[in-house]
Amino acid sequence: MQPPLDLTGKLANFSSEHRVFYLQAIKSALIGFFLILMCSSTQAAPISPLYRPAPALTGQDLAIIVNDADPLSRQIADYYSQRRQIPAEQIIHIRFSPNQAVLSKREFEQLKQQVDQSTPAHVQAYALTWLQPFRVECMSITTAFAAGYNESFCAKGCQQTHKSPYFASETDKPFKTHNWRPTMALGGKTFADVKKLIDTGVAADFSHPQGSAYLLKTSDKARSSRAVLFQRVAESLQTFWPVSYLEQDYIAGRQDVMFYFTGLTRVPHLTENHYLPGAIADHLTSSGGVMSGSDQMNIMEWLQAGATASYGAVVEPCNFPAKFPNPGVLMYFYLRGSSLIEAYWKSVEQPGQGIFVGEPLAKPFAYRPTQSQTQ
């Protein structure tokens, strides 16, 4: 049998061709995680690179893209640039009809050309100040701005898509190293919602919270495809961070949620947990990132519950693990001090069909720069 073209049914038996694709996705994720988790030294015992702080992007490294035709986009850009001290020359103004779900390739490429021409060379990442449009034809708008429109990021049916060179990369300069500018949508239904999100992200900085990670293998077998990684991730990180691998459909009443990764069409009891500032949470499903509405839970529900960022598919991706965040890779970079946008982007090997939403510069595990570093 062929694997299903959506994630609504039970996990089908793979044909030999698709079984190879599936195993390659798992292998890539495992290799990316375990290679970066192992580090030898001149001492007798290996020292985990988790003990080595990583640099984090700041407001000096990020540009805001604002849609001047959208009053909410302008309001978000004004507030975010103040809170993150983003220079005026890094606020990039474009104009297009707001509240449309999908941009055409032609319209996007015209906008992208304007953005590229206006972006200072030192900028390493983008923040978009809207939720719609969330797609450029067949690919997510965040990947389109990060890497440019390319149909190799798309797929008809269950196929692998273009890989990100930024996946599991140790670089702190993604544009300089890979010619990609990771992009995150900073948006919401109201300004009050986005203001709360921004304030939460800023409050997370340098806070070094004492929280936990929850990796859930649910009863939904199709949407638990990446859960094959979860137990090993939990075992590998347990020395450095509390990680719970659970075979159940949800958690509730937890007051220390820093990471929550699961797989369901709808995740119950979201609001019964407390999410720490800087928390990241997502659920593997077919249309979690469809901002125009679908019959599945939207990733914005994570942010409304208190998470600082989430990720979801904008078109049917099939349940390849490489198309969704790898919690091990994400936590590896985030716990070392990387900004949220860096850690999240580095955790997805094939990001073409998924959108990143949240406050990009949150860095709860970073250390404050010393005066000598800022001079």
pLDDT tens, 270-310? Answer: 999 999 999 999 999 999 999 999 999 999 999 999 999 99
Paired with 282 in beta bridges are 261
DSSP state of 163: P
Q: For 75-124, what is each residue's pLDDT tens digit?
A: 999 999 999 999 999 999 999 999 899 999 999 999 999 999 999 999 99
pLDDT of 33 higher than 60:
no
- List the strands of the sheet with 309-313, edge to edge: 91-94, 62-67, 125-128, 183-185, 354-358, 309-313, 275-283, 257-262, 212-216, 243-246
- pLDDT: which is higher, 49 or 253: 253
Mean pLDDT, the chain, rounded, equals 88
What is the average pLDDT across 68-75? 98
pLDDT of 18 higher than 50:
no
pLDDT level of residue 53 (50, 70, 90 thresholds): confident
What is the average pLDDT across 252-274? 98
Determine the angle formed by the axes of helices 71-83 and 191-204, rounding to 10 degrees. Answer: 20
- List the strands of the sheet with 135-136, edge to edge: 102-103, 135-136, 139-140
As given in the structure block, the two tokens for residue 43 are: 């001492």
Q: For 170-184, what is each residue's pLDDT tens digit?
A: 999 999 999 999 999
pLDDT of 26 higher than 80:
no
Select from 186, 214, 226 the least CA-distant residue to 79: 186
Distance from C-alpha of 312 to C-alpha of 133, rounded to nearest angstrom = 14
Would you state the pLDDT for residue 166? 98
93 touches 68 (CB < 8 A): yes
Select from 330, 267, 273 the least CA-distant residue to 307: 273
Percent of the chain past pLDDT 90, that is, above it, reads 81
Q: Global pTM?
A: 0.88
Paired with 283 in beta bridges are 262
Would you state the pLDDT for residue 51? 59
What is the average pLDDT across 338-355? 98
Write phi, then psi, for 224 (nearest 5 degrees).
-105, 25
Q: For 230-243, what is each residue's pLDDT tens digit?
A: 999 999 898 889 99
Helices (H), 16-62: 16-37
pLDDT of 155 higher than 70:
yes
